[in-house]
Each structure stands twice: as structure tokens, then as C-alpha cells.
Amino acid sequence: MSTGISPLAPTDIPDMPEIAGVRLATAAAGIRYKGRTDVLLALLDKGTAVAGVFTKSKCPSAPVEWCRTRLKGGRARALVVNSGNANAFTGKTGRQATKLTADVAAKAAGCKASDIYLASTGVIGEPLDATKFNGVLEALSRDAAPDRWMDAARAIMTTDTFPKVATARVKLGKATVTINGIAKGAGMIAPDMATMLSFVFTDAPITATALQSLLKSGVEDTFNAVTIDSDTSTSDTLLAFATGAASARGAPKITRASDPRLKAFAKAFHGVLADLAEQVARDGEGARKLVEVIVEGATSKASARRIAKSIANSPLVKTAIAGEDANWGRVVMAVGKAGEPADRDKLSIYFNGIRVAKSGARDPSYDEAEVSKAMKNDKIQIKTTLGLGKGRDRVLTCDLTKEYVAINGDYRS
Amino acid sequence: MSTGISPLAPTDIPDMPEIAGVRLATAAAGIRYKGRTDVLLALLDKGTAVAGVFTKSKCPSAPVEWCRTRLKGGRARALVVNSGNANAFTGKTGRQATKLTADVAAKAAGCKASDIYLASTGVIGEPLDATKFNGVLEALSRDAAPDRWMDAARAIMTTDTFPKVATARVKLGKATVTINGIAKGAGMIAPDMATMLSFVFTDAPITATALQSLLKSGVEDTFNAVTIDSDTSTSDTLLAFATGAASARGAPKITRASDPRLKAFAKAFHGVLADLAEQVARDGEGARKLVEVIVEGATSKASARRIAKSIANSPLVKTAIAGEDANWGRVVMAVGKAGEPADRDKLSIYFNGIRVAKSGARDPSYDEAEVSKAMKNDKIQIKTTLGLGKGRDRVLTCDLTKEYVAINGDYRS
């Protein structure tokens, strides 16, 4: 298991403001961990709209299937998240556990089970004993308060070394609205639609349809552009909740994501997602360096994305970064294996702004000492220019260290 | 760098017989390594047919481009291989280095430069100083002898911990012919057409066209079914040479791979490729366990291959194996992320023959102690049955250990 807080953890953690219509509570239900909280209940006021994106895994967890089905309603009254057990690959038992959890939560929140959203993270394949939520959720619903954001972020952690929160305030019409987000994720991170788990809340009055569209476009360059180990989780879930409470303060009701009044909000919303996604990369299992991979001059953005992912997922690139070695030969290898258009003799490669290779060969003016110094930074930018077109993309990842192997060599046992 | 011979190294190394028409010599040219051989010259008698398959990388090395161009001729008189420098991503200098090496070798072998085949392995991006071959190749051509197979296998090693050789004898018509192969490879192994470097020689009289067809079908389930770290090399080269010397002993001249007289030979040839490919997996950087991934019941062989590769390349599956943990949840994850047809509720998973999961959930009869014991073996078989169709495939890999990170965190510096 992890041995301390990631050296890449953000140093200034924002004060998380309250969001009208959202109350939170956490508890230690003893799902798996001892001596720490492992269940989060978020109560949402009537009229809260919900949107979600999920893993593209063909073997999704039971809670992912539960949420997908519920999402058609577009309404939410509560969110229950547990850590320690992913309730994934648990067959019929898994479906029964989601049903039981939702029933218990619905009773506690005083709503229908179909208004309950669920997420679970932790070990795959172990049956989740949902009877442990009996009593617990009811107590939490009495206890829930609007200021427990850090507790909420902590309760959903697994191998994370720090809680991940982000917040933004922005004008919507004449009212100021708030966006708060929390996330967890440190390994099995190669989101193909969302990340492990992330939840974003706002008091802005936005319909489920508009929120869904905002979320879908928002993940593309944030959570979907993060990879830690190329392993896509069975449980990736990103849910957004809009309580609409700000309409009482004059915020206009938004029904389309393309509404021009939503522009500033959309930007802030995207900023919260990007902030959380970067924190996931910063907490990559065993990570000592944050790595930003930029690909420019590709034939398209999609092509640039595939090449950037090929670089970001390459064990040889990642171990070289861990060794503080500007091994651009391995970057060439990763470009070459991506299967995308590339002309070796037009390639240039930069490490933290220093050009080490140009026109398909080592840059003759490149100074090894200067590059070696740059590689000691805890943030490394690898930029590759292909010289073929205008396609550009950016992906975040981290280095691959012995600690990653240690953490994952004895996670379950 | 590596700290000793892989514990998975084969224990019985075959005596490598001579092959009529092939003479070998090695030398220490000081390309990069000190105190070890780093150049191999193989001299081939007149009339030797050649076939080859190469990396699909979009950024291939200069020697790969050289060989591809020469292959049209179908004839070879010499092979020059150096370790320590891959002559990849070296631009115009790289092309000049291949030309110079071929010219020097042609003079030494008394043939045209277009009959010379080249391969280089080692660091990417460093210019290869081909003037180091001046004099060396001439001395080697005088020194060449038919019995230097182990020396040859040693001279092409980089991070390999043991030389890789394989041999077979088989009837062709009334004559007995011999097939000898050598290979190198331990990291940057996810061949997409061949592996890092492998060379197979026979005295059978087979035309270049027939040999090419044999090679192409032969790699599919051998070298192309091995992955160590999902990183495809810029230099993957597999060349086969048929001197035809056995025709003097009555072996029939073979012009088509489908010739029924070639059946036993084709099987033996495939066996040599499979043997070498398995040795590459056994020498995976830092490997402590050989892992055989079998996927059955997929909708097609191609689909089974993609799922098997997804499992074999998953850092989380590989670290679990390193930790001797039968973490089948991670196998489910890897099946799910492969993007191929899969029905979670029909999945079964076996570790070394013990079923741990069936019908989308933990096998209720599975005994953790029994599985834990099985995981201590140095060969682990992961079998996944999908229950969808008849597609089956098999991929070899190894575990992911801290040693892999150590080896690759300071390979270049």
C-alpha cells in the first residue's frame, strides 16, 4: 500500500463553499477498511437534475449499470458512494446489493429508489455486503450537513494519497453560482469516458439534458485525457448534479448547453473537471513526476490523441522519466508504434521546452547537462511535433516507479 | 542493468549443429559495450535465399529500411548485426552508416553491397559510427567458421540475460536438413511482425518466395504472440536464410510454401520460431514468472488475440502475478477494456487450471489456499473462457517487477 502523500499533491487546497441543495455525511461502515470512513451519502434537494458518463468497459460494475438505467429519469435525490469494494464482477449478488443499497438509501432520504445514484470503488469480484448500510444511511441522513466536502472526498479514497477537491464560482445571469467537485483515482486509470469516480455539484438551474451535454464535451480533454497505467476501470463514473437552488437568487433556468448565458459557467465547469483530472494524475500510484504529453502537427486531433496516449502509456517512456532520463529514443518508439501517420524525418521532440531531436535525428545543439537538469523537475513536459498537419492534443500521466509495482503487487492480499 | 541470468532461462541448451553454407564470426568492435562481443558476421554461400519480416513501426530504424529494400532481390551473401546501438532515428547519418557498413561487408565477403543484410540493436537516436567496422569485418570474414552459434547468439544481446538458440533436424525428401535460429530481446517487446532481432538459417533448398510465405505465417503464433511491455521496437527484424546446400544431398528444391513435401519442414521451422519466441518471454526484463494467457470462446481468433494482448499488457495483471496474487478481478478489467465482444455474466477465469470465477462472479467452490500455492509456480497460465464462440488464442508474457523499472530507469544513462 502507499507509504505517504504523493509529492505531487497540490499545496493549496481550496476552501470548499456550501452548495445550496446539497448536504453531505460520511461514516465508517467497515466495508473493508478499518479506522477510516468508507461511505458517503450526498442528499440532494427536490428538483435536482443529474447527468453522467461511465466506463466503456464491457464488464461494468453493478453500480454503473444501476446508474445508467436510472439516468433516463434525469432526477436525483441522493448519491451513495462506498470505497473498499467495487461491487464489480459480482453477478446476481451484485445487482441485489445495488437494489438493497438503493432501497435503504431511499428510505433514509425519503424518496424513490430510482432517484438514488450509486458508486462503489475498491476490490473487484468480492460480494458487497449491502446489509452493512442498514442503519448507517439513516443515521447519515440525519447527520448530513452542507459543509462536509473534505470528509466526502476522503470517504471515497482507495489507494489515493490525498483527497481531491475543486471549486469554482461564476456568474449565471445576475446570480453567482457555485461548482464543487470531488474525485478519487490513483490506479487502473485510463478513463474511456470518465475516471474512476468523480462527482460534481452545482446550484445552477440546468436541466439534465443540458448538463449531460456539458459533461460529455467536458470530459474529452479532462478525465479522458488522463492515463496512469492504461488500465480502464470497470467502475469509471462521473456524475454531475445541479440542484437549481440558485434560481431563487435570480439565476436563469438553462435548458440547452449551447445557451449563450451558460458560457462562463461552461468554462468554469470545464476548469473544475480539468483540476480534478490533473489531481488524479498527480496521485498516480507511486508517481514522483507529473508528465504532460503534448503532440502537435498531427493529421487530426484524434490522431494526436492516439499518439499522445501511446507515449503516455509506454512503460519504457514512463520508467525513463522515473530515472530522470530524457530518453527521446523511447518517445520515437512510442510515436512509431501508435499506428498513426508519422514521418520519422519530420519529427521533433522537446523535454520541458528543450529541443532534443529535430528532423528525425538528435538535435546537434542539444546540451545533455541542461536537459539532465530539467529532468529533475517534478513536472515534465514531453512535446512532439510531427510536422504533418494542425492536429494537437494533450494528455496527462505520471512516471512508472518501483512503488507502482509494490502498491499493485500486494493490493488485494 | 540486469543483475544475473533470468530464473526462467532454459536449463537444457541444445548443441547447435553446423549448417552447410553458413559460417559465423564475432568480435568486440567497441560500439558501446566494453569487454564483450558486439558484432556478428554471418557469411552465406552463393545461392542463399532470404526472407524477412519487420516492425510495423512508423519510425523504423535505418537497417530495417535497408533490409526491406534489399529483400526484393531474394538473395543474401552476408548478415552483419551489431548490438549497443540501434541506428534508429539517426536521420541521414543513419542511412550513411548502413551504406558504409554494407560496403565494408561486401568487400570483406566478396559480393555486392545489395546482398548484405543488416540489423542493429541497442540505444535509439545515437549516431552509429560505422567506421568501427573498418578492418573488423575483413578480419571476421577470414575468421568465420561454421560452429560459432553460441558466440553469435551472445554477440547480439543487449539487456538479455542469456543467449537464445534453437535448432531442429527434419527430413526434406530423402535428405535430412537442419534449421538453426538465434534471437535477442528482453524489453521493448510487443512485436507487430517479428521480434527485436531473430535470424533463422537452414540448408534446405527453398526459394525466397516460399521462405517468405513460411516466415509470414510462422510469426503469427510465435513472435507476434509475445509481449513483454507492449512497446513495439523500431528495429524488429526476423530474417530467414536458406543456403540450399542440402540439395547436394538430395533434398528437393522447394518453390512453394504449400508444397506437400515441405510439411514436416514447415512444422519444424514453426517449432524453432516458437522456441525462440518463448525464450524472449522468459528473458523479459526483470521477469520472475512466465505467463501464458489463453482466451477461448471468443467470437473469432482475432478477437481472442486482442483480449489476450489486453490481459498480457495490463500493468495491473502483471504486477499481481509478480505479487503471486490470483487477482482475477484485474483479468475481468482487462477483458472489459479490450473493446471486444464479451458478456460479463458468461466469463470464467482459471489460474493454472483452477477455476476462480465462473458466470460473471467468484467461483463459490474456489479454494484460496490452493490457488495461492499454484501462484508460487514460475509458470502461470491464465485462461479466460468467454462462452461466445469458437475463437481461441494464446499469448506469452511475463510478470512486471521492480527490476523492470530498475533496468529501464537507468538503461541509457
Percent of chain A scoring above 90 in pLDDT: 64
The band of B26, judged by pLDDT with boundaries at 50, 70 and 90, is very high
Closest-CA distance, B255 to chain A, in angstroms, reads: 34
Percent of chain A scoring above 70 in pLDDT: 96
The mean pLDDT of A167-177, rounded to a whole number, is 92
- Is there a binding annotation on residue B184? yes
For A295, residues 6+ apart whose C-beta sits below 8 A from its C-beta are A304, A305, A307, A308, A311, A383, A384, A385, A386, A391, A392, A393, A394
A271-303: b or e for each residue (b if 16 or more CB lie within 10 Å)? bbbbbbbbbbbbbbbbbbbbbbbbbbbbebbeb
Closest-CA distance, B337 to chain A, in angstroms, reads: 5
* pLDDT for res B1: 40
Q: Are B76 and B57 in contact (CB under 8 A)?
A: no
The band of B227, judged by pLDDT with boundaries at 50, 70 and 90, is confident
Percent of chain B scoring above 70 in pLDDT: 96
Q: Which amino acid is at A38?
A: D
Flag whether pLDDT at B230 surpasses 80: no
* pLDDT for res A202: 94
Rounded Cα distance, A340 and A300, in Å: 10
Rounded Cα distance, B334 and B342, in Å: 11
Q: Are B356 and B350 in contact (CB under 8 A)?
A: yes
Distance (Å) of CA B97 to CA A266, A332, B55, B85, B357: 55, 19, 20, 12, 55
What superfamily would CATH give domain A290-409? ArgJ beta chain, C-terminal domain (3.10.20.340)
Flag whether pLDDT at B102 surpasses 80: yes
The band of A159, judged by pLDDT with boundaries at 50, 70 and 90, is confident
Helix extents (H) in A191-289: 208-220, 263-282
Which burial class, exposed, middle or buried, applies to B272 when counting CB atoms under 10 A from its CB (0-12, 13-18, 19+)?
A: buried
* pLDDT for res A412: 54
* pLDDT for res A192: 56
pLDDT tens digits for A246-266?
999 999 999 999 999 999 999
The mean pLDDT of A393-402, rounded to a whole number, is 92
Mark yes or no for CB contact A94/B410 under 8 Å: no
Rounded Cα distance, A246 and A11, in Å: 31
pLDDT tens digits for B107-132?
999 999 999 999 999 888 888 999 99
The mean pLDDT of A354-360, rounded to a whole number, is 92
Q: Which residues in chain B have their CB less than 8 angstroms from residue A231's CB?
A: 314-316, 330, 333-334, 337
Rounded Cα distance, B288 and B375, in Å: 12
* pLDDT for res A292: 95
Look at residues B59, B400, B408, B228 and name the one whose alpha carbon lies nearest to residue A321: B408
The mean pLDDT of B60-73, rounded to a whole number, is 92
Closest-CA distance, A46 to chain B, in angstroms, reads: 35
Mark yes or no for CB contact B409/A325 under 8 Å: yes
Look at residues B33, B39, B27 and name the one whose alpha carbon lies nearest to residue B80: B39
H or E element that contains A137 = helix A136-143
pLDDT tens digits for A2-18?
458 888 888 889 999 99
* pLDDT for res B115: 96
Mark yes or no for CB contact A342/B88 under 8 Å: no
B133-156: b or e for each residue (b if 16 or more CB lie within 10 Å)? beebbbebbeebeeebbbbbbbbb
3-state secondary structure of A232: coil
Chain A / chain B CB contacts < 8 angstroms: 240
Nearest C-alpha in A relative to B356: A125
Task: Say how many residues make up chain A.
Answer: 413
Average pLDDT over chain B, rounded to an integer = 90
Q: Are A52 and A71 in contact (CB under 8 A)?
A: yes
Q: Which amino acid is at A317?
A: V
Flag whether pLDDT at B33 surpasses 70: yes
Question: Residue A278 has what DSSP assignment?
Answer: H
H or E element that contains A241 = strand A237-242
**Which residue spans within A45-196 are E strands per DSSP?**
49-54, 78-85, 116-123, 164-172, 175-184
* pLDDT for res A2: 43
Q: Which of A21-35, A89-103, A222-236 has the lowest mean pLDDT?
A: A222-236
Closest-CA distance, A395 to chain B, in angstroms, reads: 18
Q: Are B283 and B9 in contact (CB under 8 A)?
A: yes
Mark yes or no for CB contact B124/A329 under 8 Å: yes
The mean pLDDT of B64-87, rounded to a whole number, is 93
Q: Which residues in chain B have their CB less than 8 angstroms from residue A342's CB?
A: 58-59
* pLDDT for res A232: 79
Q: Are A337 and A370 in contact (CB under 8 A)?
A: no
Q: Among B58, B125, B315, select the one facing A342 at the smallest CB separation.
A: B58
The band of A122, judged by pLDDT with boundaries at 50, 70 and 90, is confident
Q: Which amino acid is at A320?
A: A
* pLDDT for res B165: 93
The mean pLDDT of B339-346, rounded to a whole number, is 90
Candidate list B37, B195, B202, B234, residue with the active-site label: B195
Nearest C-alpha in A relative to B319: A409
Partners of B382 in the β-ladder: B293, B351
The band of A294, judged by pLDDT with boundaries at 50, 70 and 90, is very high
* pLDDT for res B2: 43
Cell of A349: 521532440
Cell of A131: 446489509
Q: Is B195 among the residues known to form the active site?
A: yes
The band of B34, judged by pLDDT with boundaries at 50, 70 and 90, is confident
3-state secondary structure of A268: helix
* pLDDT for res A193: 47
Q: Are A98 and A90 in contact (CB under 8 A)?
A: no
Binding site residue list of A? 158, 184, 195, 285, 408, 413
Residue owning grid cell 462506498? A82
Distance (Å) of CA B377 to CA A114, B321, B370: 48, 10, 12
Backbone angles phi, psi at A272, to 5 degrees: -65, -45
Q: Which residues in chain B have their CB less than 8 angstroms from residue A404's CB?
A: 315, 319, 405
Nearest C-alpha in B relative to A192: B337
pLDDT tens digits for B256-290?
999 999 999 999 999 999 998 888 888 888 899 99
HEC string for chain B: CCCCCCCCCCCCCCCCCCCCCEEEEEECCCCCCCCCCCEEEEEECCCCEEEEEECCCCCCCHHHHHHHHHHHHCECCEEEEEEEECCCCCHHHHHHHHHHHHHHHHHHHCCCHHHEEEEEEEECCCCCCHHHHCCHHHHHHHHCECCCHHHHHHHCCCCCCCCEEEEEEEEECCEEEEEEEEEECCCCCCCCCCCCEEEEEECCCECHHHHHHHHHHHHHCCHHHECCCCCCCCCCEEEEEECCHHHHHCCCCECCCCCHHHHHHHHHHHHHHHHHHHHHHHCCCCCCCEEEEEEEEECCHHHHHHHHHHHHCCHHHHHHHHCCCCCHHHHHHHHHHCCCCCCHHHCEEEECCEEEEECCEECCCCCHHHHHHHCCCCEEEEEEECCCCCEEEEEEEECCCHHHHHHHHCCCC
The band of B413, judged by pLDDT with boundaries at 50, 70 and 90, is very low
* pLDDT for res B191: 62
Q: Among A229, A325, A336, select the one facing B315 at the smallest CB separation.
A: A229
Rounded Cα distance, B48 and B51, in Å: 10
What's the CATH architecture for B22-282? 4-Layer Sandwich (3.60)
Average pLDDT over chain A, rounded to an integer = 90
Look at residues B156, B160, B188, B158 and name the one whose alpha carbon lies nearest to residue B57: B188
Q: Among A233, A322, A411, select the one facing B333 at the smallest CB separation.
A: A233
pLDDT tens digits for B288-329?
999 999 999 999 999 999 999 999 999 999 999 999 999 998
Q: Which of A120, A159, A344 to mutate to test the interface with B (most CBs of B within 10 A)?
A: A344
* pLDDT for res B220: 84
Q: What is the CA A166 to chain-centroid distance, rounded?
A: 12
Show which residues of A are catalytic.
Answer: 195
pLDDT tens digits for A37-91?
999 999 999 999 999 988 888 888 999 999 999 998 899 999 999 998 989 888 8
Q: Which amino acid is at B302?
A: A
Instruction: Please state the ipTM of this predicted complex.
Output: 0.82
pLDDT tens digits for A336-353?
989 899 998 899 999 999
pLDDT tens digits for A22-34?
999 999 999 888 8
Cell of B179: 534449421
User: B70 or B413, which is more confident?
Assistant: B70
The mean pLDDT of B78-99, rounded to a whole number, is 92
Sketch the domain layout of chain B as residue ranges.
Answer: 22-282, 290-409
Flag whether pLDDT at B27 surpasses 60: yes
Beta A78-85 vs A290-298: how paired, if at all?
unpaired
Flag whether pLDDT at A191 surpasses 70: no
pLDDT tens digits for B158-206?
888 899 999 999 999 899 999 999 988 877 776 654 457 888 989 999 9
